[in-house]
Structure 1
Amino acid sequence: MTASRPRLLLLLGLAALLCSSPLAAQQPTAVIAARAGLVAWSDPLEALGTLHADESVTLSATVTDTIRELNFRDGDSVEANQLLVRLADDEAQADLRAAQALRDERRNAVNRLAQLQNRNLAPRADVEDARARLRQAEAEIQALEARLADYRIRAPFDGVVGFRNVSVGALVSPGTELVTLDKLDIMKLDFTLPELALGELSPGLPLTATSAAYPDATFDGEVATIGARVDPVSRSVTVRAELDNPDHRLRPGMLMRVVVKRAPREALVIPESALIPQGERQFVLVLDETDQYRVERRQLMIGARREGEVEVLDGLEADELVVAHGTERVRDGQPTRLLGVLDDDTSVPELLRRGRDAAEDNG
Structure 2
Amino acid sequence: MLLALLLALAPLVLSSPARAQQPTAVIAAEARLDDWSDPLQALGTLHADESITLSATVTDIVRELNFRDGQEVEAGQLLVRLADDEALAELRAAQALRDERRNAVNRLSQLQSRNLAPRGDLEDAQARLRQVEAEIQALEASLADYRLHAPFAGRVGFRNVSVGSLVTPGTALVTLDKLDVMKLDFTLPELALGELSPGLPLTATSGAYPDSPFQGEIATIGTRIDPVSRSVTVRARLDNPEGRLRPGMLMNVEVHRASRETLVIPEASLIPEGRRQFVLTLDPDDAYRVTRREITIGARRKGEVEVLDGLQEGQLVVAHGTERVRDGQPTRLLGILDDTTTVPELLRQGRDAAEANG
SS of residue in 2 equivalent to 1:208: strand
2:84 aligned partner: 89
2:186 aligned partner: 191
The match for 2:125 among 118, 125, 130 is: 130
Instruction: Give the whole-Å Cα distance in 2 for the aligned partners of 1:284 and 1:134.
Output: 97
CA contact (8 A) 2:278 2:292 kept: no
Change (3 A) 1:43 1:105: same
Q: Deviations over 1:21-62 (max 9, x none)?
A: xx999x776442224445553212222222221111111111
Q: Name whichever of 195-204 and 293-302 sits farther off.
A: 293-302
The match for 1:338 among 303, 317, 333 is: 333
Provide the aligned length of Structure 1 versus Structure 2.
342
Gaps of 5+ in 1: 1-13
Q: Within the alignment, does 1:316 sit opposite 2:312 as a pair?
A: yes
TM superposition shift of 1:209: 2.0
- How large is the RMSD of aligned CA atoms in angstroms? 3.4
Per the normalisation by structure 1, the TM-score is: 0.80
Q: Within the alignment, does 1:54 sit opposite 2:49 as a pair?
A: yes
1:8 aligned partner: none
The match for 2:164 among 144, 169, 180 is: 169
Moved over 6 A (4+): 276-284, 290-301
TM superposition shift of 1:268: 4.4
Q: Deviations over 1:218-251 (max 9, x none)?
A: 2222222222222222222222222222222221
CA contact (8 A) 2:156 2:176 kept: yes
Q: Within the alignment, does 1:153 sit opposite 2:153 as a pair?
A: no
Instruction: Give the whole-Å Cα distance in 2 for the aligned partners of 1:162 and 1:348.
Output: 49
Change (3 A) 1:275 1:163: closer
Q: Within the alignment, does 1:351 sit opposite 2:317 as a pair?
A: no
Q: Within the alignment, does 1:112 sit opposite 2:113 as a pair?
A: no
Q: Deviations over 1:237-278 (max 9, x none)?
A: 222222222222221222222222233445543213445789
Per the normalisation by structure 2, the TM-score is: 0.81
Q: Within the alignment, does 1:100 sit opposite 2:86 as a pair?
A: no
Change (3 A) 1:292 1:61: same
CA contact (8 A) 1:162 1:181 kept: yes
2:230 aligned partner: 235
1:72 aligned partner: 67
Counterpart AA for 1:160: R
TM superposition shift of 1:151: 0.7
Q: Name whichever of 245-254 and 79-88 sits farther off.
A: 245-254
Q: Deviations over 1:194-235 (max 9, x none)?
A: 222222222222222222222332222222222222222222
CA contact (8 A) 2:266 2:305 kept: yes
Q: Within the alignment, does 1:225 sit opposite 2:215 as a pair?
A: no
TM superposition shift of 1:323: 4.2
The 5 Å alignment of 1:267-286 reads 267-274=262-269, 285=281
Counterpart AA for 2:299: A
CA contact (8 A) 1:300 1:316 kept: no
Change (3 A) 1:287 1:204: farther
Q: Deviations over 1:147-194 (max 9, x none)?
A: 111110111111111111111111112111111111111222222222
The match for 1:206 among 196, 201, 208 is: 201
TM superposition shift of 1:284: 6.7
2:239 aligned partner: 244
Identical residues among aligned pairs (%): 76
CA contact (8 A) 2:42 2:188 kept: yes
Change (3 A) 1:294 1:72: same
Instruction: Give the whole-Å Cα distance in 1 for the aligned partners of 2:271 and 2:60.
Output: 79
Q: Within the alignment, does 1:142 sit opposite 2:137 as a pair?
A: yes
Instruction: Give the whole-Å Cα distance in 1 for the aligned partners of 2:69 and 2:301.
Output: 45
Counterpart AA for 1:226: I
Q: Deviations over 1:133-158 (max 9, x none)?
A: 22222221111111111110111111
Instruction: Give the whole-Å Cα distance in 1 for the aligned partners of 2:117 and 2:31.
Output: 100
